[in-house]
Amino acid sequence: MKAISKNSALKRKDILTTIMIIATVVMAITASDIINFFFLAIMCIFLFVAFRLGIQKLQNKTQCIIKATDKIVDYYKMNHMNAWDHFSNVGDLFENDELDAHYTRYRKEMMRIRNKDNDISCDIEDYINIDSVTESCASGFLSQISGLMTGIGILGTFLGLAIGLKQFDSTSAETMALSIPHTKGRVDRHSAF
């Protein structure tokens, strides 16, 4: 399983590298307005992917945990008895395949332990915890979003400077002084942000 996730992480990294190379080539060829649009489009794509791969899944799992907790509390309030006797037979308490798989493992362990000694139990946090909730939420990709955004900003800044300084005349002090206002205007126009 780790080999599969490592390969998919490498594929994502290769795709991101390819996108960045293509973005650099396109930015070197195009005009400033298109460059600004392109940078913003890349940032929007990164944020959309982060939302779809991570944040949305995390929100869904959190809602499933809240609903399951509400079910248990409501059952206890209505029946005033141990909720485990009822929920030990419920396989889809969370209505989420990943969380329900962890819950099934917990139920099986509890039943195994209870068959040996009724006073011993295991903690559900050993099965459903922050790691099990975030395992499919692309946390590796999400943790790199801030670095990607910073890199895109720096790349855009230097690209804007390179385009703006392309026609800077440094043959003499007089021509340099005359070309500074024009160069500043070009740098301002070609700066990505």
Tens digits of residue pLDDT in 114-143: 777 766 778 889 999 888 888 887 777 778
Question: Which pLDDT belongs to residue 3?
Answer: 41
Both tokens of 33, joined, read 């307005």
If you average pLDDT over each of 35-39, 75-79, 117-121, which comes out highest?
75-79
Task: Indicate whether 158 pLDDT > 70.
Answer: yes
pLDDT digits (tens, 9 = 90+) for 94-112: 989 999 999 999 998 888 8
Task: Indicate whether 41 pLDDT > 70.
Answer: yes
The percent of the chain in helix, strand and coil, each rounded to the nearest 5, is: 80, 0, 20
Nearest one of 68, 100, 72 to 84, comparing CA atoms: 72
Question: Which pLDDT belongs to residue 70?
Answer: 92
Both tokens of 73, joined, read 């509390």
Question: Which pLDDT belongs to residue 64?
Answer: 92
pLDDT digits (tens, 9 = 90+) for 163-185: 767 777 777 777 777 777 766 66
- DSSP for 168-187? ---SSHHHHHHHHHHHHHHH
- DSSP for 103-132? HHHHHHHHHHHHHH-TT----GGGTSSHHH
Question: Which pLDDT belongs to residue 66?
Answer: 92
Q: What percent of the chain has pLDDT over 90?
A: 12
Q: How far is Cα 92 from Cα 104, in angstroms, rounded to an integer?
A: 9
Task: Indicate whether 30 pLDDT > 60.
Answer: no
Whether residue 190 contacts residue 32, with contact meaning beta carbons closer than 8 Å, is answered with: yes
pTM of the model: 0.57
Mean pLDDT of the chain, nearest integer: 76
Please say whether the dihedral angle defined by the alpha carbons of residues 69, 71, 75 and 78, taken in this order, is positive or negative.
positive
Question: Which pLDDT belongs to residue 58?
Answer: 85
